Amino acid sequence: MRVINPTYHNIQQDNLADDVQTPEEALQFPVCVFSNSKPNATVFLESIRTGLGATVQHEIGFIRKTSASNPAPVEVLDVVTKTFKTAVVGIGD
């Protein structure tokens, strides 16, 4: 998984064969929306998911943590990184 800053600069880069440089390119791959479960985060990210659904041709996954006060379990993060190539996350901290 590659993390992309919406200002079109790579923040973290893995040694992946696919060279994704922009958010538009990232949406060509399996996408998930990942909620930190803070108040209103789920509603906000569901609206983003709906909007992205009009843009992409594949299903957009939705994953959320069980609690905003705890980190996501390793098992959940493994599912995200193994299933999706792009994740839209809500981090307001």
Q: What is the pLDDT of residues 22-76, one digit of tens each?
A: 777 777 888 888 888 888 888 888 888 888 888 887 888 999 888 888 888 889 8
Is the model more confident about 9 or about 58? 58
pLDDT of residue 11: 45
pLDDT of residue 17: 45
Cα gap 67→59, rounded to integer Å: 25
Q: Which residues contact 44 (CB under 8 A, 6 or more apart)?
A: 90
Residue with tokens 């880069």: 13
User: What DSSP state is assigned to residue 72?
Assistant: P
pLDDT of residue 20: 61
* pLDDT range class, residue 3, cuts 50, 70, 90: low
Tokens of 48: 């983003």
Q: Which residues contact 5 (CB under 8 A, 6 or more apart)?
A: 11
